[in-house]
Chains A and B, each alone.
Chain A
Amino acid sequence: MPDKLRSYADQLETLARQAGLDYFPVDFELVPSSFMMEVAVYGLPVRMPHWSFGVRYIYQLIQHRMGHSRLFEVVFPGNPGRAYLAHNNSVEENTLVTAHVLGHADFGKNNMLFRRSQEQVGYHIVEQAAAHARQIATAVEEHGEARVEAVLDAALALEQHIDVQRPLRRPRYPYYLADGKKPSSDEFHTRFDSLDEEALPEGHTEKRPAPVPPQPEYDLLWFIAHYAPDLEDWERDIFLAVREESFYFYPVFACQIMNEGWASYWHARLLSEADFLPQQVYLDAIKTHSDVVRPYASGQQVALSVNPYHLGFSMWGKIVEAHGLTEARKIMTEDDDFSFVRNYLTEDLAEELSLFGYTAKKNGEVKVNKADIDDLRESLLGGKFNFGAPTVCATRVQTDGTLELQHEHVTDGRGLHAQRAIKVLEYIRRVWRRPVMLHTLDERGEAVMLTASAG
């Protein structure tokens, strides 16, 4: 880090602590923008190899070459946290970015979802992901690229299908129903289970083997890792490695608006209070700020999506103004994007930001519709439920080992894209090594069963 930036960074940290920001130490590192691009594609500085990352990388590269996006920084929560800054950015830009990173670091240490995930995954996800990458390199040496790739095809395709309501490490299902206790941690399940037990006839002591899974299982990575009939140990390890990274990614995904907004709020606030910055540095930094949190691409009046930086930044500004910083910190600690948007995106703010709802038809027609604040909120959150993926659970393993999956079309409102679903079933079948079937709806809304079997 150049001296000038180092000195600004130190003074910004002092300012941040005075303002009440509370974070683990952050290791700053200046890196080439090509490296930043890879980090953005992989989500982690070192990560397991897979051809699909290559495809994403090329898209990112094309975007970059066409000048559509520019990455300023990537932050990884942890103790210590890590922040990568692009070394071809100006000192002014990186000053702003440093302040921004401190906001993220505060968020990462205190937000409940982040805290939970840090406690489970450990405070060293960067190192752990590197260990996973090494583990996979070893597997490639021992078992060959094709076999490892088959496991990764399946595991990474199911990346979004974890159950974050349940802990990262959880025991296998109990063998017998009459044992009573089920692996439930929350109040509802405990209560539900006791109801179940009361229902058993008096004096009923015979143990009945529990079906697998005993209840619909939403954590497909966990389920396959533990119950695939012929899975080898190294294959299970790969599934669990992917799952661990997925647990790490969940809060990043589920708190994007809050987190980016919080960091933007703090970089703006710290810079405005940083009287040690030369006027020019401040002006340049503020200009960068407005580039980042602007709602539209330059020269346009309308955007068909909402910039989460801009939305989050505006919301935090209003919250601090209306409720004070203490209350804002409390919200930051307890909420995720769902409760944040539902509770704090007010009608006034939506109007101020000129948010509007629209419907886009398949033929490309986009029409602005009448939308009240509830419509806007749900529409903003629509793509975020369940990691943005359809809800699919494992319901049964048949006696011949056939795996039955169920798509919960009632909650999703419609069926699955059948060709893609069958491809995913084929990925799974290669590790499950028995037929795999999935119940969902077809284009006409009628129940269908998709199958992948050997051959």
Chain B
Amino acid sequence: MSSDTETGGVDRQDSGWYDLFSRGARDWLRHNEKVRNAVRKSLPDIVAGADVLSNDGNRTVQVPVRFLEHYRFRLLDPGTRGGVGQGSAKPGDVLSQGRGPQGRDKGSGGRGEGGLEFVLELKVDDIIDWLWEELKLPDLRAKSGSLEDDDYTREGWDRRGARSRLDKRRSLKESIKRRTVQSQGPIFINDDLRYRQLIKRQRPTTQAVVFFALDVSSSMTERDRKLAKSFFFWVIQGLRRQYTRIESVFVAHTINAWEFNEDEFFQVRGQGGTVASTAFETVASIISDRYSPARYNIYMFYSSDGDNFREDREPALEGLRRIVAVANYMGYVETSPPSRAGLDTEIGELFQQLSEDGLPVGAYALSEEEDVWEAIRSFFRQQARVTP
């Protein structure tokens, strides 16, 4: 028996063994878990929303999700539905006005269960973790570099220390030692107590440097930069998850090349033509000045629209060869309109050539925000296959 009522009534003593039956809540949690898993599958689409990048301070994204529906066979919604009502109404009465030809939401059937939405808030960091779980870093050589302070490790004993670090075994030993020479006395005195001592230890760390080189010549549109920026963003997030220490170097070029800091880098606008070799030479010289290949895992990612001065072909290829000789991996993303995504450009051909030589390089044409994750996947899967 149930009834419609205005007040819900407050439970006075909802407790006891019935709590064992909180299966409604348990099944609801299972539902939510399934929703999270479903969302996980569509993470690349969420990633495509560029607000992830601009939202640095807050670093969460809100994803509206529907309640999952447990599907059953159902008849097609009829154009009109008949029913029986009760009350004062005569044939011809209109009890409720139509809401125009668009009508109401489609999920109105089935006790309206298709309709409700709730918002899942996801941490950007979690998203990145999930996304990178499935990928492997190319050619991780685990080169050890500088020493890093690790956690405290236990070593030796001290007469003073925190209660929690009291070593009972050791203290008892001290007490026995004392009492063999001192015939009388209490079992323990303060001098017997020994505390474990902690010291800092250093251990070597794997480290890496990643070069981001960007063509900022006048042919690169705002859209091209944005695509490159979001590609670089996800790459560096992934690399940061793999290495304890990672440094990034930003190089932009037109007919000359300059090193920038991260903030400036994406704001840079250049004028005029494109000489890509200048960027590659800059990268190569920074490597020899600051990043010994013996101690650093080296990556370079280059982004451009593919144009380069024909005369620069040989120097550019030479520059790339110098880098790839010491780098773990070198990737190229070409930002191009969907109509001409092909990689049959000046730069595209250089990478093609290096790839044919069996060197660890990859290239991908990016034409939309949605491609970014596919590009990353193509780089890091492809390379994972090469490395045993």
Contacts and interface: CB of A to CB of B under 8 A. Distances in A.
Interface string B93-119: 111111111111000000101001000
A302 B86 contact: yes
B23 A365 contact: no
Nearest to B90: A368
A254 B8 CA distance: 29
Given A156-B70, A304-B85, A54 B3 contact: no
Nearest to A39: B21
B23 A363 contact: no
Interface residues of B, number: 71
Given A358-B85, A366-B94, A367-B93, A415 B75 contact: yes
A157 B72 contact: yes
B57 interface: no
Interface residues of A, number: 110
A221 to B, nearest CB: 13
Interface stretch (B29-37, B125-133, B207-215, B256-264): B29-37
B1 A420 contact: no
Given A360-B80, A368-B85, 18 more contacts: A33-B11, A60-B24, A64-B8, A70-B8, A71-B2, A88-B9, A292-B2, A296-B86, A300-B87, A357-B84, A359-B82, A362-B103, A364-B98, A365-B94, A366-B95, A389-B73, A390-B73, A421-B73
A210 interface: no
25 contacts: A32-B18, A40-B2, A55-B68, A55-B70, A67-B7, A70-B2, A72-B2, A153-B70, A291-B3, A296-B87, A307-B86, A355-B86, A357-B84, A359-B80, A360-B82, A364-B98, A364-B104, A366-B94, A366-B95, A366-B96, A367-B94, A369-B91, A412-B75, A417-B74, A423-B71
Contacts of B27: 49-54, 57
Interface string A34-67: 1101101110011101111111111111001111
Given A304-B85, A382-B82, A365 B72 contact: no
Contact of B89 (A302, A363, A379, A380): A302
Contacts of A356: 84-87, 89-91
Contacts of A415: 75-76
A296 to B, nearest CB: 6
B23 A53 contact: yes
A53 B24 CA distance: 7
A357 B85 CA distance: 6
A277 interface: no
Contacts of A45: 21
Q: Identify whether the interface residues of B are mostly helix, strand, loop, or mixed.
A: loop
A424 B102 CA distance: 28
Query: Which 4 interchain pairs have the tightest Cβ spacing?
Result: A54-B27, A57-B24, A365-B98, A302-B87
A49 B23 contact: yes
A389 B87 contact: no
Q: Which of A34, A300, A418 has the most CB of B within 10 A?
A: A34
A297 interface: yes
Nearest to A41: B24
A359 to B, nearest CB: 5
A35 B95 CA distance: 38
Contact of B70 (A88, A97, A157, A370): A157
A59 B110 CA distance: 12
B180 interface: no
B190 interface: no
A146 B226 CA distance: 41
Contacts of B91: 356, 368-371
Given A87-B13, A390-B74, A361 B80 contact: yes
